[in-house]
A = this chain, B = another copy of it.
Amino acid sequence: MEQLKIFTPATIANISCGFDVLGLALDTVGDEMLIKKVAKKGVTITKIIGQDLPLDTHKNVAGVAALALLAETDCEFGFEIEINKQIKPGSGIGSSAASSAGAVWAINEMLGKPFSNLELVRFAMEGERLATGVPHADNVAPALFGGFTLVRSYQPLDIVKINTPSQLFASVIHPQIEVKTSDAREILKTSVPLKEAIKQWGNVGGLISGLYTEDYDLIGRSLEDFIIEPIRSILIPAFDAVKQNCINTGALGCGISGSGPSIFALSKGEETAIKVGEAMKAVYDKVGIPYDIHISKINKQGIKKI
């Protein structure tokens, strides 16, 4: 295989109750990457379309992740990476994760799959470390495994792929404002009331149960975040209005995608998800903030060849 073209999806981390552990992959929004095998060892980022991001391998998340993988091989050749960046950096839907995960997935394919998905998560996390300072896995895991994923533990790294009900659709609105992941992390409190933590893990249990039994009502009831959302939502203009509009329109639940500013809602059925998207747009049209909107079924496959 001399070259490989892939689609690598945007992802929603946290999913309300599952801060730092849950994530899901989207289907209609993601980057395209072209990876070429070349004689020269190492990794070269040859071109980035759509966004102004560093071409220097060591400053690019895809480059850093790819190098982390290659460091554990005795590969006698190298790779060139071209990225068609459709996911805006800083949108909160896993832009860096898509590039990091895409690079390691594609190279693993071209090397004959020496590494498991779990090992690929570990390499892709090095891209996340470069992007945010924290090597988190809650975006790269769903990109690589597809569907819903749980990062059960970091030490040791343990990723669980969760069943994904077929009628589950996401609506995502990205208001064009900047919220840095590092800022969104800094405003969090380092301790939480035990009472709230109990409610939170009750909801994590409910959400996981609902995903396995495909109980959409239970999924909806469980999509509640008592700990992070009350704090982070103040960084996102009109968050409460968007959320209320989504619920009124029939969404199962609504919350902050990753560290924001994107807001996601989950719905049963595409028709409802489209209406929920319209309800999201209505709020930002009124407030006068420009936005991108995505409606997507949950991507059970994750990264794929195109």
A190–B198 Cα gap in the complex (Å)?
Answer: 11
Contact indicator per residue, chain A 202-241, by CB within 8 Å of chain B (1) or not (0): 1111101100110000100110000100000000000000
Contact indicator per residue, chain A 178-208, by CB within 8 Å of chain B (1) or not (0): 0000000000111111110111111111101
Instruction: Decide if A18 touches B205 in the complex (CB within 8 Å).
Output: yes
Q: With a CB–CB cut-off of 8 A, which chain B residues contact A158?
A: 206, 221
Q: Assess A192 versus B194: contact at CB under 8 Å? Given A199-B153, A205-B18, A205-B150.
A: yes
Q: With a CB–CB cut-off of 8 A, which chain B residues contact A202?
A: 20-21, 150-153
Asked if A160 is at the interface of the complex by the 8 Å CB criterion, the answer is yes
Distance in Å from the Cβ of A17 to the closest Cβ of chain B?
8
Instruction: Decide if B201 touches A200 in the complex (CB within 8 Å).
Output: yes
Q: Assess A198 versus B19: contact at CB under 8 Å? Given A206-B160, A208-B208.
A: yes
Q: Assess A197 versus B192: contact at CB under 8 Å? Given A218-B160, A221-B158.
A: yes
Partner of A21, one of B151, B191, B201: B201
A48–B158 Cα gap in the complex (Å)?
Answer: 49
Partner of A201, one of B18, B188, B189: B18
A158–B160 Cα gap in the complex (Å)?
Answer: 25
Instruction: Decide if A21 touches B193 in the complex (CB within 8 Å).
Output: no
Closest-by-CB residue of B relative to A204 is: B201
Q: Mind listing 7 A-B residue pairs with CB under 8 Å? A: A21-B202, A190-B194, A197-B201, A204-B204, A204-B205, A205-B205, A212-B213
